[in-house]
Amino acid sequence: MNHPELAAEVARRRTFAIISHPDAGKTTLTEKLLLYGGAIRQAGSVKARKAARHATSDWMEIEKQRGISVTSSAMQFDYNGYRINILDTPGHQDFSEDTYRTLVAADSAVMLIDNAKGVEEQTIKLFKVCRLRSIPIFTFINKMDRTGRDPFELMEDIEQVLGIRSCPVNWPIGIHGDFKGLYHRDTRLIVLYSGGDHGQGQVNVETISVDDPGCPARIGKSYYDKLIEDIELLDVAGDAFDMEKILSGQLTPMFFGSATNNFGVEPFLNRFLSYTKSPTPRVAEGEGPIDPADEKFTGFIFKIQANMNPAHRDRLAFMRVCSGVFEKGMTVWHSSSNSRVKLAQPQTFMAQEHETVDTAYPGDIIGLFDPGIFRLGDTICTGSPVRYSGIPLFAPEFFCRVSPEDSMKRKQFLKGVNQLSQEGAIQTFKRPNIGREEMIAGVVGVLQMDVLEYRLKGEYGVNILRENLPFRFVRWVVETPRPLDRLRLTSTTAVAEDRAGRPVLMFENEWSIRLACENNEGLVLAETADRMTADEIDV
């Protein structure tokens, strides 16, 4: 079907993820962006856990109780002619694998940094994933209403720790708990800061030109003199604004503000939307890049979530539209089953709120009702089959032997573990000759084990027993010079297989990994593995 509006719809879309270290204010920033888009009327503070209102993007009950984002949420809204798709990712490092997968579906990333802490560990990990994909990264320095580090120090921190140059688009006035406002370098206007109602609504701003004779008196002469000094230093020694470098991921524009007080958010949003890319081509195996404006519909599954509505026991597959036009009820080729399937009940999101969608365009994130056929990394398309590169499995770092407390509930236990494994929430392993009853759950972070226990109890009615195992590394066996049971390994190394039946080695420390490779010439191990593209083996 011909869609003359396709190119225009692609051009107005922006799909991005927000990444940060825990507690940098990511969910709060997301709320404020939704506020300006008219998607919500009042922003909910995640700090006010006792209130009935919680952050829109945190929908799972355990998230509301703990005040953290456990799963990635997708939210869509319109603003100033743009159709915006925000992928709000977990900040907590224990859920970083979910964030890695989500970044595959984003065209750009907003990197949120606490102005008092600078670049933190989790930010570094997520930045590396963005860098691997060469996607544009836009930096928002948050919490400017509080005492923080010198902005020049933060610029140096970003360059030295992350290895990317920065170019401030605006500049803070007052950083020692005496925040006065922001100077915008492109307009030479100063936006004056006032506290207000803790950012629950859109803020009214007062501006004054830095060239106005009354400016020194308005903001204070010492603040004015410091600002002029900083501006001159930036103009002489700072990196110039270079859109080509920004779009190739070599230079990050820096913005300052306070998400909690809703200050600096709207100027950031307006500039970000004008700077960043519309949906970009995705590379298909053997096909090369596929233009989003190509009329052939293609998309891929980057997230699976069961029980978003526990009352209905629903299961949704999150799909990124890559090219062409998605239409409700269309029949497509599905890579895992190598067959044609009809896509029923497509939905768009505002966190847990769903709306049925009739059409969607490249860059859009939609939810598909999943009867259990979709897998992470699946490609779906019309016409002749194409396959997008799969989403890899990342090596877990914590392992538990898990079993149902009540053996009569083993069927529900297996169903729950199987579904959570398909979602990517956990990985499962078995050791040969141990018996069918043993189940090893592997996760990137310990808190994921708590979520596993919580969800099995709440969604499947199963209490579990957990026994921590000493392993800290798992490696997939790519090549082996001899059968696994004849490899020369340390006594604490275990041979196992993942849920797809692929051989793995489980190690307690890095020394054991090195020794395994040294003592077994020809042994090739991998830190990641391709996800299954055919039907997976039931646990």
Residue pLDDT tens, the chain, 539 long: 446 689 999 999 999 988 887 777 777 888 888 887 765 544 443 333 333 344 444 434 544 443 333 344 678 888 999 999 888 665 444 445 666 777 888 999 999 999 999 888 777 777 877 887 788 999 999 999 899 999 999 999 999 999 999 999 999 999 998 999 999 999 999 999 876 554 555 566 789 999 999 999 999 999 999 999 999 999 998 899 999 999 999 999 999 999 888 889 999 999 999 999 899 999 898 889 999 999 999 999 988 776 555 554 567 788 899 999 999 889 999 998 899 999 877 766 554 456 778 899 999 988 888 887 888 889 999 999 999 977 767 778 889 999 999 989 999 999 888 878 877 778 899 987 765 567 899 987 777 788 788 888 888 899 999 999 999 999 999 999 999 999 999 999 999 999 888 999 999 999 999 999 999 999 999 887 765 443 343 43
How far is the C-alpha of 68 from the C-alpha of 66, rounded, in Å? 6
**CA dihedral over 50, 53, 56, 58, signed as positive or negative:** positive
What is the reported pLDDT for 91? 45
Q: Where in the chain is CATH 3.40.50.300?
A: 18-75+95-275
Long-range contacts, stretch 279-282, CB < 8 angstroms, 24+ apart: 279/10, 279/13, 279/15, 279/107, 279/322, 279/362, 279/363, 280/107, 282/322, 282/323, 282/388
Look up residue 27 and give its amino acid. Answer: T
Q: Environment class of residue 200 by beta-carbon count within 10 Å: exposed (0-12), middle (13-18) or buried (19+)?
A: middle
Q: Which residues are CB-neighbours of 436 under 8 A, at least 6 positions away?
A: none
Q: Minimal CA–CA distance to 267: which of 179, 186, 176?
A: 186
Q: Which residues are CB-neighbours of 143 under 8 A, at least 6 positions away?
A: 25, 114, 115, 116, 258, 259, 260
Fold of 282-381: Elongation Factor Tu (Ef-tu); domain 3 (2.40.30)
Q: Environment class of residue 404 by beta-carbon count within 10 Å: exposed (0-12), middle (13-18) or buried (19+)?
A: buried
| CATH class in words for 393-529 | alpha beta
What is the reported pLDDT for 267? 92
Alpha-carbon distances of 170 from 18, 114, 254, 416, rounded to whole Å: 20, 16, 7, 49
Residue 435 tokens, joined: 């018996």
pTM of the model: 0.76
CA angle 284/290/294 to nearest 5° reads 140
Q: Which residues are CB-neighbours of 20 under 8 A, at least 6 positions away?
A: 26, 91, 111, 112, 113, 122, 123, 126
Q: Minimal CA–CA distance to 62: which of 447, 465, 463?
A: 447
Fold of 18-75+95-275: Rossmann fold (3.40.50)
End-to-end CA distance of the chain: 42
DSSP classification of residue 231? H
Q: Minimal CA–CA distance to 401: which of 471, 323, 346?
A: 471
What is the reported pLDDT for 536? 40
Residue 80 tokens, joined: 């100033």
Residue 55 tokens, joined: 């952050």
Residue 48 tokens, joined: 């006010």
How far is the C-alpha of 355 from the C-alpha of 358, rounded, in Å? 10
467 and 401 Cβ atoms separated by less than 8 Å: yes
Cβ count near 157 (within 10 Å): 16
Alpha-carbon distances of 448 from 58, 95, 288, 337, 384, rounded to whole Å: 16, 7, 36, 30, 39
Residue 14 tokens, joined: 């922006």
Question: Residue 319: enclosing H or E segment and its boundaries?
Answer: strand 315-323
524 and 481 Cβ atoms separated by less than 8 Å: no
- φ/ψ bin of 10: left (φ > 0), alpha (ψ from -120 to 50), beta (otherwise): alpha
What is the reported pLDDT for 96? 53
Q: Where in the chain is CATH 3.30.70.3280?
A: 393-529
- φ/ψ bin of 451: left (φ > 0), alpha (ψ from -120 to 50), beta (otherwise): alpha
- φ/ψ bin of 39: left (φ > 0), alpha (ψ from -120 to 50), beta (otherwise): alpha
What is the reported pLDDT for 293? 93
Q: Minimal CA–CA distance to 516: which of 493, 497, 498, 482?
A: 493
What is the reported pLDDT for 530? 67
The b/e string for 84-110 (b: 16+ C-beta within 10 A; e otherwise) is bbbbbbbbbbbbbbbbbbbbbbbbbbb
Residue 432 tokens, joined: 């040969």
Q: Where in the chain is CATH 2.40.30.10?
A: 282-381
